[in-house]
Structure formats: C-alpha cells, structure tokens
Amino acid sequence: MRIDKMLANLGFGSRKEVKKLLKDGAVKVNDRVIKDAKEHVDPEKDTVTLHGEAVEYKEFIYLMMNKPPGVISATEDNHDQTVIDLLEMEDAVFSPFPVGRLDKDTEGLLLITNDGQLSHRLLSPKKHVPKTYFAVIDQEVTEEDVEAFKHGVVLDDGYETKPGELKILKSGTRSDIELTITEGKFHQVKRMFEAVGKRVVYLKRLTMGPLELDESLELGEYRELTDEEIESLMEYEVK
C-alpha cells in the first residue's frame, strides 16, 4: 500500500496534508525517513512512525457504543444526529456503520464496525443471534406473558415470532423485564408487548450474541472492543 494512502486512511489528513508530512521528514519506515508519497509499505510488516510515534495500521474497527436516546442508528440522516456523528474523527475515518438498528428512543448496546462480513453474519436471520433487552412496561407483566412469549406471539402484521425468553424482574403497575429474542423484526420488542396488550415505555439493549454492554460507558460514549470481545464475535459467527 502507498504510504500516503495508508496515512490518509488512518485519518492523519488528506492525501495533500499527508504529502506535506512526508516532505517535512515526519515519517519514517523501518527507521528510514521516507519523503516519497508513492513509496510502498507493508502495513503488516513495516514499522511506520510519524513524529517518532508508532503508527498502527488496521483495516477494521470494532466499536461498542452505549447508544443514547434521540440519536438514529444510521450513517446519515437529514434531520437527526446519527450514532456516526458521535464518533471521533480518528474512528469515523474508517467509515464504520451500525450493525443493525435500535429505534431512536432505544438505548444501549450498539456494535459499530466497518467489517461488512461480520455485520452480515450477525444480522443473518439464519444465525439466530440472541439479543437481550431490558424494558420497562406500562403495566403488570404476568406468567401468562412469559408463556405466550415462549411459544411466540402474533404481531400486528400477522407475523408469528420465534420463541422469546421473558424474565420478570419486577412486576407491578410498571414492570421491569428482560427479554431475549433471536430475530430482529422492525420494533420487535415493542410489537411483541403490543401483541399482549402492553406498552414498552423504556427499552435498552444489553447483549448481542457474546457481546455485553459495558455498563461503565455513559450514554453516547463508546470504546473499541477488546481483543477477547472481537475473538468471541469471530468464533460466535461460525457456530
């Protein structure tokens, strides 16, 4: 890969800005100053430094965000802020996108990556990747609901859902629940509760496959996945 392309891809500036860095002698490859933007480097093997700092090349980026309410799970939107707008420039340069969608008012775990293959496999209906949500419901949730969800419920468009595992954490005039589903139909959790005559008043995703929301992330904050988390996703997808 050309050195100017590599540095531009990593967000160190436009090709023109990177050229200037090179001309100024700021870039070394294997301890040799490189001034020619056309010079090729092997990002896997060569040691590249910029102003003496090692430059780590990566093709893929994997981010976990605690999605805040009021923000859209998309890369662009004409009216609303998107989750991509919340990223630092150094991460946005990788052109990542959210893996699946959470509603505008839903919070919690959102995986953001530029790894299309991983995204495709995690979203494939054939893979049945389980996702667990915490929700507050506007009324009492009962054992009958648990049973109904276990068998699958019929949504407003006639679609019969796959079984969902409903756990009642607190039941009352407002109930706290956890629901695990293996599908991702539009507004699925909200519509499953509508199917039993109840309304979701708060929704937060806690897990997606092997990935768990890092509760130390404030709403709108994000971090890179750890190597272990990436590995768990890679292994998970082949199951």
Query: What's the token pair of residue 38?
Result: 């056309």
Task: By CB under 6 A, name the one of 165, 187, 202, 223 that touches ligand URA.
Answer: 187
Stretch of 4-12, 56-64, 75-83, 100-108 contacting ligand URA, by CB under 6 A:
100-108
Q: Which region, left, alpha or beta, applies to residue 145 given φ > 0 means left and ψ of -120 to 50 means alpha?
A: alpha
In the annotation, is 103 catalytic? Answer: yes
Task: Find where tokens 């301890």 sit.
Answer: 31
Question: Is residue 189 a contact residue for ligand URA (CB under 6 A)?
Answer: yes
Task: By CB under 6 A, name the one of 8, 61, 63, 102 that touches ligand URA.
Answer: 102
Q: What CA–CA distance (Å, rounded) separates 11 from 26?
A: 15
Q: What CA–CA distance (Å, rounded) separates 15 from 86?
A: 24
Task: By CB under 6 A, name the one of 66, 106, 114, 132 that touches ligand URA.
Answer: 106
**In 3-state terms, what secondary structure has residue 200?**
strand
Q: Which is nearer to ligand URA, 63 or 102 (CB)?
A: 102
**How many Cβ atoms from other residues are within 10 Å of residue 106's Cβ?**
23
Site residues for ligand URA, 197-216, by CB under 6 A, read 203
Which candidate in 31, 46, 85, 103 is catalytic?
Answer: 103
Q: Which are the catalytic amino acids? A: 103
Give the footprint of ligand URA on this chain (CB under 6 A): 102-103, 106, 187-190, 203
